[in-house]
Amino acid sequence: MASPPPHYLVTGGAGFIGSHLVEALVARGRRVRVLDDLSTGRRENLAAVAEKVELVVGDIRDLEVCRRACAGVDYVLHHAAKVSVAESVERPIETHEVDALGTLKVLIAARDAGCKRLVYAGSASVYGNCELSPQHEGLAADPLSPYAIAKHVGELYCRAFYGLYGFETVVLRYFNIFGPRQDPGSPYSGVIARFIRQLARDESPAIQGDGEQSRDFVPVANVVEANLLACTSPNAVGQTINVGCGTSTTINQLARMLIETTGSDRVSAHADSRPGDVRHSLADITRARDLLGYEVTVTPEEGLRATVAWYRENAT
């Protein structure tokens, strides 16, 4: 008799990235459990697969909740987090409790449950204002915000759990991810989602600062593929791996691209810079290619067109 398909837990699985992971796993015939407190995640994000996944509503700061969620699971994709730099500046204690201590509790629960591996959603914000470009994983961390600090602490816990206990972990350092279902209504949402919402309302894209800050924008489909590869790649264990496209776009360039894509006649507006923001961010994805076999399957330009189309179809 054939063995059952692997069982996956996606923490934060009702959120933007998590829900895309859940859909991809279901499409591949995997068993999926979601742990989400629904503070920012939404049940509607899982509507297409709701009958095929198990949803556990709970908080990763509760160790017993984490233990129940990890029971019988093979792979944990840990995406539950407070994800906003601006919010972390306003509420650093809460950010630390969720992103650092919550990660520790998920690691403990996964290790004790006998899970095979945990893949951690890290952040390129740990590089800070690094002058070297592109940023590679061997650079020293220089986190500039409570968010970046807490995400780096999560990375260190992952490394320690592999070194001390032999529990397999992989850290994926995400650059600027975008795509369908990213909430444009939140003040902490990604810049692409916000720009699309503003243009749809015939408003000018509001750029914080001079707009010459640059980012490596990553369509979410690439992130999904990196996670699936990280679960089973033998070379990835104990490693920290960038996930990006390896291309740089300034915020001014992004605004112009979206104005052109949407057919708007608006021009950008500028406001004050955000505290804690990094100036330039660009991924060296050599390690992802070498250790995971990762390739950019959706370019930023393709991702922008698909994202604009999705928001037009799902405008509320």
Task: State the DSSP code for 218.
Answer: E
Q: How far apart are CA 118 and CA 95, in angstroms?
A: 21
Report CA-CA distances (Å) from 57 to 10, 39, 76, 114.
12, 10, 16, 22
Cα separations in angstroms, 105 against 63, 82, 93, 174: 6, 15, 16, 22
Q: What b/e readout covers 81-115, taking b as 16+ CB neighbours within 10 angstroms? A: bbbbbbbbbeebeebbbbbbbbbbbbbbbbbebeb
Annotation says 8 is catalytic? no
131 CB burial (10 A radius; 0-12, 13-18, 19+): exposed
To the nearest 10°, report the CA torsion of 248, 251, 256, 259. Answer: 120
CA distance 287 to 231: 16
Q: Kindly report whether the peptide bond that precedes residue 300 is cis, defined as omega within 30 degrees of 0.
A: no
User: Which two tokens mark 225?
Assistant: 């593929």
226 alpha-carbon distance from chain centroid = 11
Instruction: Give the number of other CB atoms < 10 A from CB of residue 306.
Output: 16
Among candidates 307, 315, 212, which has minimal Cα distance to 258? 307
Q: Distance between CA atoms of 259 and 266, rounded to whole angstroms?
A: 7
Q: Catalytic: which of 127, 147, 294, 311?
A: 147
**Number of CB atoms found within 10 A of residue 302's CB:** 13
Which H or E run contains 196?
A: helix 191-200
Q: What is the token pair recorded at 248?
A: 């740089």
Tell me which residues are annotated as active site: 147
